[in-house]
């Protein structure tokens, strides 16, 4: 602290020495002046100030997630609760806010509630609140908007065959390897192993065309089912020889745009199956992997669908079970399951 008068500085120092002496006698705990100042400042913050700072300072958030949090806070939480001091928030006040939200947007409401609960959980850790006032049971659970539409093996083969030749493998890799759109559209030649036996998911492209880590935050290696390896090898002969060459492009060197791909995909689905989204190809992968006997952990690892701590253990190496799963997927595609039961497919 800086004072303009020496007497004021001496007075401040005198008060601190007295506080230290009281602490030494066990009368009162002394804390550094900067800590006391910060605590007074935090306790007086409004939720708008505290929440905005929480989103800005939150470590480990992907840019897209940070933008989503900022938008949810600004449009759903702040209008009603923003001016309320954090220390004044009660369970009753939070329940009233949640009850007043438009019931036409249940998914948005549950996400906003979960965000508020996380923010106030940090406030508890900061000592601003004694406990978290977000106590509405089930409010933070997000219900699925729709059930995925899963293609059959034959339908998938038909859709892939009807796609433009340069995009056929994009459909097959999405479906049989469980890649997200941002992952498959960012695949490059260097991500495919010798002999097309596996691929490495090391990057993802978001909606703002930013290249970042996959959603799990970790790289994963996926064994490619044998029945599509020859097709992938043929595709590689058409994309150029550089390690960084994209596997799928709209114009040379440019990523495939999701809107243009979606239009092509929807047109191909006519007469095959209605209501299928591009992301449902990933659901196909999860369903088929479970069908051939993949455990929950194996399915999560293959699709990169895990918590960070679990994913670190799963992703350390591609074990023999992943190879077995990939081979079983090919058997399923060729018409015979791993148990010898015919699936009805001739492909």
Catalytic residues: 180, 279, 282, 305, 314
Task: Give the DSSP letter string of 267-320.
Answer: HHHTTT-SS--TTHHHHHHHHHHHHTT--HHHHHHHHT-S-HHHHHHHTT---H
Other Cβ atoms less than 10 A from the Cβ of 127: the count is 11
How crowded is residue 49: how many other Cβ atoms within 10 Å of its Cβ?
16
Q: Which residues, in sequence order, are bridge partners of residue 249?
A: 255
Report DSSP state, residue 218. S
Complete DSSP assignment for 326-341: HHHHHHHHHTB-TTS-
User: What 3-state DSSP class applies to 255?
Assistant: strand
What kind and span of H or E run contains 260?
Answer: helix 258-269
What are the percentages of helix, strand and coil residues in the chain, rounded to 5? 55, 5, 40
Q: Categorise residue 340: left if φ over 0, alpha if ψ from -120 to 50, beta otherwise.
A: left
User: What contacts 203, CB < 8 A, 6 or more positions away?
Assistant: 183, 186, 211, 212, 213, 214
Give me the DSSP letters along 113-160.
HHHHHHHHHHHHHTTS-SS-----TTTTPPPPSS---PPPHHHHHHHH
């Amino acid at each position: 602290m800086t004072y303009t008068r020496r007497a004021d500085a001496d007075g401040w120092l005198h008060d601190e020495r007295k506080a230290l002496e009281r602490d030494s006698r066990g009368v009162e705990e002394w804390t550094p002046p900067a800590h006391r100042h910060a605590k007074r400042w935090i306790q007086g913050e409004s939720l708008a100030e505290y929440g905005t700072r929480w989103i800005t300072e939150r470590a480990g958030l992907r840019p897209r997630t940070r933008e989503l949090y900022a938008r949810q806070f600004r449009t759903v939480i702040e209008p009603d609760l923003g001016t309320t001091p954090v220390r004044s928030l009660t369970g009753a006040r939070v329940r009233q806010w949640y009850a007043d939200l438009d019931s036409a947007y249940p998914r948005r409401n549950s996400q906003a509630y979960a965000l508020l609960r996380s923010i106030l959980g940090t406030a508890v850790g900061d000592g601003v609140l004694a406990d978290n006032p977000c106590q509405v049971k089930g409010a933070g659970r997000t219900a699925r908007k729709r059930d995925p539409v899963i293609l059959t093996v034959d339908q998938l083969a038909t859709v892939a065959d009807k796609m433009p030749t340069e995009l056929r493998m994009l459909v097959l890799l999405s479906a049989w390897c469980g890649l997200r759109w941002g992952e498959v559209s960012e695949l490059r030649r260097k991500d495919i192993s010798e002999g097309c036996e596996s691929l490495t998911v090391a990057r993802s492209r978001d909606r703002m065309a930013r290249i970042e880590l996959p959603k799990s935050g970790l790289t994963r290696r996926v064994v490619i089912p044998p029945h599509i390896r020859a097709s992938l090898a043929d595709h590689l002969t058409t994309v150029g020889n550089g390690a960084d060459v994209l596997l799928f492009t709209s114009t040379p060197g440019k990523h495939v745009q999701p809107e243009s791909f979606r239009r092509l995909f929807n047109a191909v689905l006519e007469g095959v199956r209605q209501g299928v989204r591009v992301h449902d190809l990933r659901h196909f992968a999860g369903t088929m992997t479970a069908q051939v006997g993949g455990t929950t952990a194996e399915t999560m690892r293959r699709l990169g669908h895990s918590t960070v701590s679990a994913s670190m253990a799963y992703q350390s190496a591609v074990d023999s079970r992943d190879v077995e799963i990939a081979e079983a997927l090919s058997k399923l595609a060729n018409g015979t399951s791993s148990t010898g039961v015919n699936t009805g497919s001739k492909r």
